[in-house]
Amino acid sequence: MTITSDIGLYIHVPFCIRKCRYCRFLSFTCSENKLLAEYADALIREIRIRYGEWPYRKIDSIYIGGGTPSIMPAEDMGRVVKEIKDNFFVSHDCEITIEANPATITEDKLKTYLDCGINRISIGVQSFDNAILNFLGRVHDKNDAISAVRLAKKTGFDNVNIDLMFGIPGQTMKMWRDSIRQCLFLRPEHISLYSLQIEEGTPFYDMIYVDKVLSEVSENVDRDMFSQALMMMDDAGYHHYEISNASLPGFESRHNLKYWSYNDYLGLGPGASSFIGGQRFKNCESVSEYLKFIKSGMPPVKPEKVETYSEREEMGIFVFTGLRKTEGFSINDFENTFKKDFFDVYDPSILEKYKGFIEIDGLNLKLTEKGLDVSNKIMAEFV
Ligand code: SF4
């Protein structure tokens, strides 16, 4: 059997203790260990089913996201990771990340994670301000967050990510700066920054657009907060390598880089997306439907969830995701992937139109610092 290029594996755990007020992710409230163990059994069955489809691919990154994967009893998570290793060809240096909510972390859980091979933990802190955490509807407070990061490091995790959120109504610049300062003091290897998005179907959306008891943060304040964070992280030695992500040298997220570098990934669990062998598809979102598919031994993908994009659309995805990286993407890679000259596809005048915002650096096309600030507008030109 020939093993072809490396792929990433994503595992979705769609359960949380409570729904945060801003959340539109596919997640449901559940903390019953029996149900979570049953869900682990279903994932194990899906791993066996999907292995049959892709037996020849080597996995060099696994990302267990959610939802709140750390809600699952650690032994069940251990069974899932073991099953992946028993079925797929997992590289010896595979990056294995688990997302965790500070309220669910215990020393025993962290030890079990390390024992089964999980070597990176992404902690959903969002803020070190109790008023903000409470407003967001998070189930943890500032002290839980600090203890969780310290405990992860003490237990042996040497690759820790902290998620932080800005652009939150009521969040002052001082609160934001204090949160970044606290984060830098804990010295995680990786930091992800998210601007709060107000999504339809969430309590925040209703508060802002239906009941009008809250106002969205202005674009200017949002951008100022982002720039402030970049400056402070830069001073502390973090490398801003992707629009929303910075790391200490050598700790860039291997898994996320796959999404931004047009690499293949396979997603397991309800709602998980895959891009593999040139095909894009998505698992069904309903947990009960997912369980039915799995019980019958079928991949949980409905025919309408196999997505076909035109070549031009795929090119747009390549450019759009590639420009998220601060180093941009290699024009050679684009041309090798699509067997077309980049400037036959895209009008070279775009470089002039966005002079100062986009540039060619060596063989790469990238956004400048100014361009990263208005990235959505520029990226839209390519899709
Ligand atoms: S913990 Fe994450 S996935 Fe769960 S409700 Fe909150 S934002 Fe959504």
CA 166 – CA 330 distance, rounded (Å): 31
The pLDDT of residue 293 is 96
Q: Please tell me the distance from the alpha carbon of residue 194 to that of residue 166, in angstroms, as a whole number.
A: 6
Whole-number pLDDT of residue 188: 98
CA 264 to chain centre: 15
CA–CA separation, 323 vs 261, rounded Å? 9
| Region class of 9: left (phi > 0), else alpha (psi between -120 and 50), else beta | beta
Confidence label for 1 from pLDDT (cuts 50, 70 and 90) = very low
What's the CA-to-centroid distance between 196 and ligand 1, angstroms? 13
Instruction: Tell which atom from ligand 1 comes closest to the C-alpha of 67.
Output: 3
Ligand 1 probe mutation, 27, 29, 192, 197, most atoms within 8 A of CB: 27
Q: Which of 3, 62, 8 is nearest to 266 (CA)?
A: 8
- CA-nearest residue, atom 2 of ligand 1: 67
Q: What predicted TM-score, i.e. pTM, was given to this entire model?
A: 0.95
Whole-angstrom distance, CA of residue 4 vs CA of residue 57: 6
Neighbouring CB atoms inside 10 A of 67's CB total 24
State if residue 66 touches ligand 1 by the CB under 6 angstroms criterion.
yes
Instruction: Say how many Å lie between the CA of residue 128 and the centre of ligand 1.
Output: 17
pLDDT tens digit sequence for 176-189: 999 999 999 999 99
What domains does the chain contain, in order, with CATH numbers? 4-260 (3.20.20.70), 311-380 (1.10.10.920)
Ligand 1 centroid to residue 275 C-alpha, Å: 24
What integer is the mean pLDDT of 177-205?
97
The confidence score (pLDDT) of residue 2 equals 43
- How far apart are the C-alpha atoms of 313 and 325, rounded to whole Å? 19
- The pLDDT, as a whole number, for residue 5 is 67
Residue 46 Cα to ligand 1 middle (Å): 24
Q: Cβ(233) to ligand 1 under 6 A? A: no
* pLDDT for 3: 43
pLDDT for residue 307: 79
Is residue 173 pLDDT above 80, yes or no? yes
From ligand 1's centre to the CA of 305, what distance in Å?
24
Q: Quick check: CB of 100 below 6 Å from ligand 1?
A: no
- Banded model confidence at residue 383, pLDDT cuts 50, 70, 90: confident
Atom of ligand 1 nearest to the CA of 24: 8
Confirm or reject: Cβ of 68 under 6 Å from ligand 1.
Answer: yes
pLDDT in tens, 295-329: 999 999 987 778 788 999 999 999 999 999 999 99
Task: Kindly compute the dihedral angle of the four CA atoms of residues 164, 167, 173, 177, in this order, to the nearest 10 degrees.
Answer: 10
Report the alpha-carbon distance of residue 354 to residue 379 in Å, rounded.
11
Q: Is 103 near ligand 1, meaning CB less than 6 Å away? A: no
Token pair listed for 92: 């010896």
252: tokens are: 């860039």
Residue 212: CB partners within 8 Å, gap ≥ 6?
A: none
The three-class DSSP label of residue 382 is coil
Shortest-distance Cα residue to atom 7 of ligand 1:
23
Question: Which two three-digit tokens encode residue 273?
Answer: 């997306």
Q: How far apart are CA 43 and CA 83, in angstroms?
A: 9
